[in-house]
Amino acid sequence: MSRTFTMGDLKHRLQERQHKMTPQRQTVLQVFLDHPGKHLSAEDVHGMLRDSHSEIGLATVYRSLELLSELGILQKMEFGDGCSRYEVNTTNPSEHHHHHLICTKCGRVTEFEDDLLDDLEEDIRRKIGFKVENHQVKFYGICKECQQSVEG
């Protein structure tokens, strides 16, 4: 199950991987802590930092996001629109990530916590001998709000 992290938790995770919590990394991570459950692109993060009068450049944001995702602190996701988005990786490594529901009209991304593929993974292990360690599922469709706006 997912949990909430503090800046201290994230600093510890960086130090475990022999990296320092630089002021820039801390500022970037704070954006994610301030917007839990959001799937933010580098441009989103940079815009939020710029709005709060931060001097961190877009290139620094990109480097920070890439490093933090390589270290498993952030989870990098692709939703089929050519833009990488990130969120704090709150899952236990021995458990699966949540799934994403992506609206093809408004682009809203909703998280879905139920893991529907446990039986399929067991079937794959039994029949093929392949042990699935993790998976990502993305469902594309039209969210309730967009459906209502078309009907209304």
3: left (phi over 0), alpha (psi -120 to 50) or beta: beta
146 is in an annotated binding site: yes
CA atoms within 13 A on the CB side of 60: 16
97 is in an annotated binding site: yes
Q: CB under 8 Å to 42, separation ≥6 — which residues?
A: 58, 61, 62, 65, 84, 86
DSSP element (H, E) containing 99? strand 99-103
What are residue 5's phi and psi, to 5 degrees? Answer: -110, 150
Query: Using the 8-state DSSP alphabet, how is residue 98 labeled?
Result: P
Which residues make up each annotated binding site for Fe cation? 97, 135
Binding site as annotated, residues for Zn(2+): 103, 106, 143, 146
Would you list which residues are annotated within the binding site?
Answer: 97, 103, 106, 135, 143, 146
